[in-house]
């Protein structure tokens, strides 16, 4: 049996990329794994099962029928797809007791950005996360994962290699690792670009590493040179970005050729993708980059910062940039029709395909 831990999702759906993965793999398990799939959460040192309420459209609407869970036994698998950074000594003690009874314990690693770049999460970042100091919690979570997990699933080969590199500095042996691919909610959909649009969309929380300052610099040059293009930023306000947010909201083009949608619904995001001329992400570091795949699946031309993770994810369809001049030129290439989208990359897959491959890997542990 697979015991699927939804403790974080049960407490609070943050509508993050991580919980998007958690929800998609949860829905696949419910639809395809039958009574071998147990949805559970930990509270006060006890494991509970829940019934998941799924809408006719396939959205998770809530949970009900909470009851005590059976004790996992030898041969079972305890799976944490969500980032369970609020699991403390009590919860990990329970998980360790399962491991001591022959249960295989697996967690998913999304990135090591807080370890590699702690400066992006300090200061005001502490107050953004509902449980306080995220850096401390992430590092504690990582120490528990190293100690108690039998395997770690990494959302890209880049993350897997990054973890292996970091593991060289650990004094104790580390869990085995494997990588897997993430899916796209827009896979199989049509672009339906009936608009004569000059919109360029960038999607992601407004936070230090996302490269929005560089992106605005590029569009300011385009506007100064007379290019009639619009930049649409979709993402909630994060941390350590007060000056950037003021720059956006006080900009003379704000509300005209510079839009910031901080609370866009999934439907509104899809509509924005569909009417855009191109997608741009200048993020300095990612574990994967779901919006990249979502845009590419719809056939949008994609412009990415030249980084190792984006070289992996964007293979076969992305154009790469490093500075303002390169962004400006790529945007103009899209406007001229010289740079087109391509949705046939091996990296562009449905969630069902990716979840099936993921669970297949789990079965071989």
pLDDT of 133 > 90? The answer is no
**CA distance readout (Å), 195 to 231, 261, 291:** 16, 19, 21
How much of the chain, in percent, has pLDDT values that exceed 70? 96
- Please compute, for residue 59, the number of CA atoms within 13 A of its CA located in the half-sphere on the CB side: 6
Dihedral sign, Cα of residue 48, residue 51, residue 55, residue 59: positive
Is CATH 3.40.50.2000 the right assignment for the domain spanning 2-183+350-363?
Answer: yes
End-to-end distance of the chain based on CA atoms, in angstroms?
A: 13
pLDDT of 190 > 90? The answer is no
pLDDT of 281 > 70? The answer is yes
CA pair distance 36, 3, nearest whole angstrom:
8
Token digits of residue 344: 């046939």
Decide if 60 contacts 28 (C-beta within 8 A). Answer: no
- The domain locations on the chain are 2-183+350-363, 199-336
pLDDT in the model for residue 123: 65
Q: How many CB atoms lie within 10 A of CB 283?
A: 21
How much of the chain, in percent, has pLDDT values that exceed 90? 81
* Mean pLDDT across the chain: 93
pLDDT-derived band at 125, boundaries 50, 70, 90:
low
CA-based Rg of the chain, rounded to a whole angstrom?
21
pLDDT-derived band at 192, boundaries 50, 70, 90:
low
Judged by average pLDDT, the poorest of 19-33, 105-119, 150-164, 191-205 is 191-205
pLDDT of 236 > 90? The answer is yes
**CATH architecture observed for domain 199-336:** 3-Layer(aba) Sandwich (3.40)
Return the exposure string of 160-183: e unless at least 16 CB atoms fall within 10 Å of the residue's CB, then b: bebbeeeeeeeeeebbebebbbbb
pLDDT, tens only, 241-252: 999 999 999 999
pLDDT in the model for residue 131: 58
Residue 313 pairs with which residues in a beta bridge? none
pLDDT of 129 > 80? The answer is no
pLDDT, tens only, 294-344: 999 999 999 999 999 999 999 999 999 999 999 999 999 999 999 999 878
pLDDT in the model for residue 193: 56
């Amino acid at each position: 049996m697979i015991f699927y831990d939804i403790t974080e999702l049960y407490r609070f759906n943050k509508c993050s990329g991580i919980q998007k993965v958690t929800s998609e793999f949860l829905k696949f398990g419910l639809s395809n794994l039958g009574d071998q799939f147990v949805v559970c959460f930990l509270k006060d040192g006890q494991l509970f099962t829940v019934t998941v309420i799924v809408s006719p459209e396939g959205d998770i609407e809530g949970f009900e029928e909470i009851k005590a869970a059976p004790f996992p036994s030898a041969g079972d698998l305890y799976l944490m797809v969500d980032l369970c950074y609020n699991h403390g000594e009590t919860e990990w003690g329970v998980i360790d007791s399962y491991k001591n009874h022959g249960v295989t314990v697996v967690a998913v690693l999304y990135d090591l950005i807080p370890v590699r770049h702690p400066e992006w999460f300090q200061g005001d970042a502490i107050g953004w996360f509902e449980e306080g100091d995220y850096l401390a919690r992430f590092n504690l979570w990582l120490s528990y994962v190293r100690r108690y997990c039998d395997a770690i699933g990494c959302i890209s080969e880049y993350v897997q290699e990054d973890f292996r590199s970091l593991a060289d500095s650990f004094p104790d042996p580390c869990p085995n690792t494997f990588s897997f691919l993430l899916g796209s909610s827009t896979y199989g959909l049509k672009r339906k670009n009936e608009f004569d649009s000059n919109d360029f969309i960038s999607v992601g929380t407004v936070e230090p590493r996302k490269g929005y300052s560089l992106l605005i610099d590029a569009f300011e040059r385009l506007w100064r040179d007379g290019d009639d293009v619009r930049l649409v930023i979709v993402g909630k306000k994060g941390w350590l970005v007060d000056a950037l947010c003021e720059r956006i909201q006080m900009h003379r083009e704000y509300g005209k050729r510079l839009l910031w949608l901080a609370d866009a619904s999934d439907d509104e995001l899809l509509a924005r993708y569909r009417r855009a001329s191109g997608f741009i992400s200048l993020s300095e570091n990612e574990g994967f980059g779901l919006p990249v795949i979502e845009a590419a699946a719809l056939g949008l031309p994609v412009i990415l910062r030249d980084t190792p993770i984006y070289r992996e994810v964007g293979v076969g369809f992305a154009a790469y940039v490093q500075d303002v001049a390169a962004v400006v030129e790529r945007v103009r290439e899209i406007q001229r029709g010289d740079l087109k989208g391509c949705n046939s990359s091996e990296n562009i897959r449905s969630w069902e395909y990716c979840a099936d491959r993921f669970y297949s890997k789990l079965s071989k542990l």
